[in-house]
Amino acid sequence: MPNSLVLLNFQTQAINAELRLPLGELQAALDNKLVGTPENLIAQNAEFLKAYLLQHMKPKTNQGIPWRVKLETMWLESAENPSYGKYYELVVLAKWLPPSSAALRNFVLEYDAIVHQVVTHTILVSIRQSWNQNNNLATSAQLGVISLDIPSGTIPLLHINLDQSGIGLGFVQMLRMGMRHIAEGLDHLLFLFTLLLPATLLVEGRRWGRFGGVSYSLNRLLRIITVFTLGHSLTLIFGAIRLFPVPTQLIETLIAFSILISAIHGFRPLFKRQELWIAGCFGLIHGLAFAEGLAFLNLDSLHLALNILAFNLGIELMQLLFIALVIPWVILLSQSTLFRPFRYFAASLATIAAFAWLFERISTKPNLVSVWLENTKDQAIWLLLGLITMSLASFIFQYLGRGSSPGLFNRSASLKRGDGIPEH
């Protein structure tokens, strides 16, 4: 869905703010209370919209003293994004006036229009230009992000201090936005998990065979992750600058298809010796989806480049955290007889999820499984705890119970002389 934009123009004594709110998301936040057609919607709902915006837009001093807000005009404007399609935006021009003697360039913004009801919504705040102390107009283009903080269930205030924060304000905000993009991306994490699930195993004929050893597993995991990262980083850059726009529905459908392919690969090796190519190709697709998080930025080239870098770093940090939390337990479990039923179980769940998302994204209508996945994605921590418990239990019963060394740091716990070179 489109993001909201808040574009700030700093003058000598006031801030001119331009608000852009996607009409569909605004209607959802207002329980479809807006009446009329696009031609007369403003006329019929002007007072209601003004009251709503004034309630949810409150710039303040750092001491909590409210600024004066004047709504000057509003209108509907047709917008179009190559990947999302056509939609309407409510455009509002407002003037923010600080109290006497209060700092104009150092304040707190409390703004939660739409996001107070549509919790997946994101508000991008772009400081388009500002007057410096010598009255010279300079482009600043700093960026802030307002969104729901999931752990606390609150919408944090945005602190803006142009005199001190400089370019780091937008960089840190976009870093966090990239991390949040992955943390909430169940389909991306599920794809990554199912793709890496059999990476610790040797290929024996047309089946997954024995554990290949820690060094073998880490080597394969590192290569797959690196190629996947290069793939999605490349298309993230091209997608963010709209070099080759691709419809969102197609991107999301291809992501669901990539989960299905990686799930089938979890049962049996589909692309023996070709995993790096597959990881790279699917990385290109996932990168286009990541780029949608940057599709509505309104920045100059320098700041766009910096924000792409920060967003991608956030994606990589969260991705590495996920891998660090999951992969050691997969390596441990893959040395036990429990790994095959676990692998089949995980691949089966991924297959069901992939088909549910495919049907949803092709038909554009949710189904019972996709709705359940959306409602339960915050409970994924229990799956991780289950994996840890099963891995530790298998380690204890299979190795310590026999009184033998687990051989965790050997090249392979099961290779024998004459077994040959592991297939990649």
Q: Per residue in 6-16, pLDDT tens?
A: 988 887 788 99
How many Å apart are CA 279 and CA 365, to the nearest integer?
A: 29
pLDDT of residue 276: 78
How many Å apart are CA 199 and CA 131, to the nearest integer?
A: 55
297 or 226, which is more confident:
226
Domain interval for residue 31: 4-166
Q: List the single range of 42-51, 143-152, 392-401 with lowest mean pLDDT.
A: 392-401
Token readout for 282 is: 């699917």
Across 369-385, average pLDDT = 78
Tell whether 198 and 79 lie within a shared domain. Answer: no
Token readout for 9 is: 């123009």
- Which helix (H) or strand (E) element contains residue 93? strand 85-97
Residue 171 placed within a domain: no
Residue 199 CA, distance from chain mean position: 25
| pLDDT score of 137 more than 50 | no
Please identify, among 133, 166, 199, the residue that sits at the C-terminal boundary of a domain.
166
Q: How many C-alpha atoms does 280 have within 13 Å on its Cβ side?
A: 7
Tell whether 253 and 286 lie within a shared domain. Answer: yes
138-162 burial string, b = 16+ CB within 10 Å, else e? eebbbbbbbbbeeeeeebeebebeb
105 to 11, 13, 144, 348: CA distances (angstroms): 10, 10, 14, 54
Tell whether 81 and 211 lie within a shared domain. Answer: no
Tell whether 65 and 32 lie within a shared domain. Answer: yes
pLDDT tens for 275-312 read 778 888 888 888 877 776 665 555 556 666 777 788 88
Task: Determine the residue type at 254.
Answer: L
Token readout for 98 is: 């600080």
353 or 132, which is more confident:
353
pLDDT of residue 139: 47
pLDDT of residue 311: 82
| pLDDT score of 64 more than 80 | yes
373 or 171, which is more confident:
373
Q: List the single range of 43-47, 135-139, 145-149, 233-237 with lowest mean pLDDT.
A: 135-139
Torsion angles phi and psi, residue 213, rounded to 5: 105, 160
Residue 411 placed within a domain: no
Across 361-376, average pLDDT = 83
Q: Domain tally for the chain?
A: 2
Give the residue carrying structure tokens 């009329």. Answer: 36
Tell whether 280 and 307 lie within a shared domain. Answer: yes
pLDDT tens for 349-360 read 999 999 999 998
How would residue 417 be classed by pLDDT, with cut points 50, 70 and 90?
A: very low
How many Å apart are CA 172 and CA 145, to the nearest integer?
A: 10
206-237 burial string, b = 16+ CB within 10 Å, else e? eebbbbbbbebbeebbeebbebbbebbbebbb
238 or 341, which is more confident:
341
**E strands in 167-253:** 201-204, 207-211
| pLDDT score of 176 more than 60 | yes
Token readout for 227 is: 């190629």
| Apex 392 CA angle, 388 and 393, nearest 5 | 115
Residue 65 placed within a domain: yes
pTM, two decimals, is: 0.62
Contact 185, 175 (CB under 8 A): no
Q: Which of 203, 182, 180 is nearest to 193 (CA)?
A: 182
User: 408: how many CB neighbours lie within 10 A of its CB?
Assistant: 13
- Which helix (H) or strand (E) element contains residue 412? none
Tell whether 201 and 150 lie within a shared domain. Answer: no
Across 409-415, average pLDDT = 42
| pLDDT score of 246 more than 50 | yes
- Which helix (H) or strand (E) element contains residue 125? strand 122-131
User: 79: how many CB neighbours lie within 10 A of its CB?
Assistant: 17
pLDDT of residue 18: 92
Q: Which of 142, 23, 125 is nearest to 74 (CA)?
A: 23
Secondary structure string (H, E, C) spanning 6-44: EEEEECCCCEEEEEEEEHHHHHHHCCCCCCCCCCCHHHH
How many Å apart are CA 176 and CA 124, to the nearest integer?
A: 13
Task: Determine the residue type at 230.
Answer: L
Residue 421 placed within a domain: no
DSSP at 319: H
219 to 16, 118, 224, 277, 392: CA distances (angstroms): 54, 42, 9, 16, 23
| pLDDT score of 421 more than 60 | no
| pLDDT score of 169 more than 70 | no
How many Å apart are CA 107 and CA 65, to the nearest integer?
A: 10
Rounded to the nearest 5 percent, the helix, strand and coil shares of the chain are 50, 20, 30
How many Å apart are CA 31 and CA 111, to the nearest integer?
A: 19
Tell whether 116 and 223 lie within a shared domain. Answer: no
Residue 418 placed within a domain: no
Tell whether 34 and 70 lie within a shared domain. Answer: yes
| pLDDT score of 420 more than 90 | no
Tell whether 112 and 234 lie within a shared domain. Answer: no
| pLDDT score of 141 more than 60 | no
Tell whether 192 and 82 lie within a shared domain. Answer: no
Across 215-230, average pLDDT = 87
| pLDDT score of 263 more than 80 | yes
Tell whether 295 and 358 lie within a shared domain. Answer: yes
Tell whether 189 and 162 lie within a shared domain. Answer: no
Q: Which region holds residue 153: left if phi is over 0, alpha if psi is between -120 and 50, else beta?
A: left
pLDDT of residue 208: 87
Residue 195 placed within a domain: yes
